[in-house]
Amino acid sequence: MDLTQQELRKIISIGIELATEKNRNKLLDKILKKSMDVTNCDAGTLYVLEDNALKFKVMKTLSMNISQGENGEEIDLPPVPLKEENVCAYSAIHRKVINIEDVWCNDTFDFSGPKNYDAMTGYHTESLLVIPLANHEGEVIGVMQLINALDENGQIIVFNKEYEFVILSLASQAAIAISNMRYTEELKEQMWSFTEALATAIDERTPYNALHTRNVADYSGLLIDELNREYEAGEYPEYFDTQRKEQLIMGAFLHDIGKLIVPLEVMNKATRLGERLNIVKDRFELFLCYLKIRFLENLISKEEYEKEKTYLEDTLSYIKEIDIKGYLPDEDYEKVAQIAEAFCVTPDDKKIPLLTEEEVECLKIRKGTLTDKERSVMEDHVNMTMKILEKVHFNRYFKDCPVWAGQHHETLNGTGYPKHLTAENLSVESRILTVADIYDALISDRPYKKPMSKEKALDILQSMVDDGRLDGKIVRALKKCVLK
- pLDDT, one tens digit per residue, over 274-290 is 999 999 999 999 999 99
Residue 407: the pLDDT is 96
Mean pLDDT confidence for 219-243: 96
Picking from 381, 358, 385, the residue whose alpha carbon sits closest to that of residue 370 is: 358
| CA distance linking residue 469 with residue 484, whole number of Å | 25
The set of residues, in sequence order, having a beta carbon less than 8 Å from that of 75 and lying 6+ positions away, is: 56, 57, 58, 59, 68, 69
The set of residues, in sequence order, having a beta carbon less than 8 Å from that of 284 and lying 6+ positions away, is: 312, 315, 316, 354
| CA atoms 446, 451, 454, 457: torsion sign | negative
Q: Which architecture, in CATH terms, is 206-262+377-482?
A: Orthogonal Bundle (1.10)
DSSP state of 129: E
Beta strands at 343-345 and 351-353: parallel, antiparallel or unpaired = antiparallel
pTM of the model: 0.72
Packing angle of the helix pair 162-205, 242-254 (nearest 10 deg):
30
* Residues 47 and 59: beta-carbon distance below 8 Å: no
The rounded mean pLDDT for the chain is 90
- pLDDT, one tens digit per residue, over 192-225 is 898 888 888 888 887 766 689 999 999 999 999 9
Q: Which architecture, in CATH terms, is 5-183?
A: 2-Layer Sandwich (3.30)
Read off φ and ψ for residue 187, nearest 5 degrees. -65, -40
- pLDDT surpassing 60 at residue 80: yes
Greater pLDDT, 164 or 102: 102
The set of residues, in sequence order, having a beta carbon less than 8 Å from that of 89 and lying 6+ positions away, is: 54, 80, 81, 82, 83, 143
Residue 134: the pLDDT is 85
How do the domains of the chain map onto residue ranges? 5-183, 206-262+377-482, 276-368
Q: Which helix (H) or strand (E) holds 164?
A: helix 162-205
3-state secondary structure of 52: coil
- pLDDT surpassing 80 at residue 177: no
